[in-house]
Amino acid sequence: MSGLSMSFGQNSNDECGPKCDSQIEFVKNFKGAAQILEQKGYTRFTPHYITWYCPEAFILSKQCKSQCINHGRYCAPDPEQDFSRGYDGKDVVVQNLRQICVFKVANANKKPWLWWDYVTDFAKRCPMKDNKYNKKCADQVIESLGVDVKKVDECIGNPEADVEHAVLKAEQEAQIGQGDRGDVTILPTLVINKRQYRGKLEKGAVLKAICAGFRETTEPAICLTEDIETNECLENNGGCWQDKAANLTACKDTFRGRVCECPVVQGMKFTGDGYTHCEASGRLRCEINNGGCWKKTQDDRTFTACTDDNSQGCKCPPGFKGDGVNICEDVDECKEKLACQCPACKCKDTWGSYECSCSGGLLYMREHDTCISKESRTEVSWSFAWIIILGLAAAGVAGYVVYKYRIRRYMDSEIRAIMAQYMPLDSREETPSHHHSRFDI
C-alpha cells in the first residue's frame, strides 16, 4: 500500500503564546490517529520546520549570532522576543533539527510514527519554562523511545560549522511552493496530497481531509468513526441486499456514503448485484445459512435444497418440488402415480419418499416396481444354484479328461525311449515306417 502523503510544518518553540499552545495540543490529540494511519500504511507522513537565513550584511551581528546556526544560514525568531534573557532563536533551530533527525532515524528503522511520541513527550518533559529545553533532556526522551541517540547526533552535526547543512537546506527548499501549493509561511501548516491547510487545526477536520483522499471501500476504519461520518447502512440497510437470518449484508459503509457489494464470508464469496440478490457460491457454501436454500427436518429426517459443491442455486431434493429457496413440497408419488403402480402393489406416501407393499404374500422389487411371488423367487434361487453345481461338475470332468490324455502321452514317450535302447540299430533302420511295434498303443 503506497499510502496518502501528509506533511506537517510546525515548530518546537513552546513560548510563542496561544499559537504554540494550539499547535502542541493538536499534535497530542492527533497522535493516536496519525500513528494508526502510519502503522497500517495508509499515510506517508513527513514533518517540516520553517527556518530563514540571515542577510550576509548582518551575519556578524548580535541578532544573527543569537538566532542562527551554521554561520547565519538557518535561523528562527527569539522565543521571548528578548535577546537579553531566556532561550535564543538558535536553540529553537537546533531543537527543530533534532526533531527532524529523530524522524529520519526512526523512519530508517521503519518506525516513523515514533516522531509523534518524541514531540509530545519533549513538550511535556522539556519545556522552556522549566529550563529543560536542552540536549540533555532531549536525549533522555530519545533513549526512552529506543531511538539511537548517536545517530541523531550524527544527523545534527556541528551547528557552529560554516557549511551548508543538508537536512536544513532541504527544509528551506520544502518551504517553497510547488504547483498549486503556495509557500509555507504560517505555522502550523498541514499539506495533504499537495493541498495545504493552515491556521488552527482540529483532529476531526484533519481526519476528514485525509479520509477524503481515499477511494470508497479503501478508507481505513478510523475514517468510519461516528465523530467524522454517518453510517448510512444503519437506516434500511442502505437499500442493499440483506439476509437477516444469517446476519449478512451487502451494505458497506464508506466515508462518502455507502456501496452495495455482495460480501465475502469465511473465504466464500457471494455473487449478485448487491442490491436485490446475493448468492453463495463455491465449495462449502451450504455451511453458511444453508446457502440460502430451503431446509427442513420432519419425522427425524432432514432434507435440503443445497448441494455442497461448486454449483450455484438451490434445487429441491428427490421426492420434493418447489423453487428450492423458499419452499420444497413433498411429492405424493402414490397420488401422482410415479411409483408403486403394479397391479398387486399397495402405495403409501411418506415425507420425501413412499412405501410400497404387495398383496397376496408377494414381494416388492423397488428397482423394477413390480411384485413377485416368494416361491418364484425361491425356485429361481435353486435353479441358479443347480446351474452353478452342474457347471462345476462339467469343469471337473473336463479337467479329468485332459489330465488322463496328458498322462497317456507322457507314458508313450517314456516307453519308446526305453525300447530304443534295446533294439539293434540296423533293425531299427530296416523296420518299415508303416509297421507298428507291439508296444505301440
Q: Is the dihedral of CA 150, 155, 156, 157 positive or negative?
A: positive
Match 477536520 to its residue by C-alpha cell: 205
Q: Is the dihedral of CA 125, 129, 135, 137 positive or negative?
A: negative
Q: Mean pLDDT lowest for which of 14-18, 26-30, 49-53, 61-65?
A: 14-18
**Sequence-separated (6 or more) residues with CB below 8 Å from residue 279:** 262, 270, 271, 272, 291, 292, 312, 313
Give me the sheet containing 189-192, strands edge to edge.
Answer: 43-49, 4-10, 189-192, 195-198
Alpha helix ranges (H) inside 268-373: none
> Confidence band (pLDDT; 50, 70, 90) for 4?
confident
- Cα gap 28→10, rounded to integer Å: 13
Q: Is the dihedral of CA 264, 265, 267, 272 positive or negative?
A: negative
Beta strand 363-365 pairing with 370-372 = antiparallel
128, β-bridge pairs: none
Residue 421 is predicted with a pLDDT of 65
CA 121 vs. chain centroid, Å, equals 37
- Cα gap 225→79, rounded to integer Å: 39
Residue 364 has pLDDT above 50, yes or no: yes
Match 423397488 to its residue by C-alpha cell: 366
Residue 441 has pLDDT above 50, yes or no: no
Interval 405-423 mean pLDDT: 68
Interval 331-347 mean pLDDT: 87
Q: Which of 126, 132, 97, 99 is nearest to 114 (CA)?
A: 99
Report the range out of 137-146, 375-384, 416-425 with the highest average pLDDT: 137-146
Cβ(416)–Cβ(422) below 8 Å:
no
Residue 423 is predicted with a pLDDT of 57
Kindly report the pTM of this predicted structure: 0.56
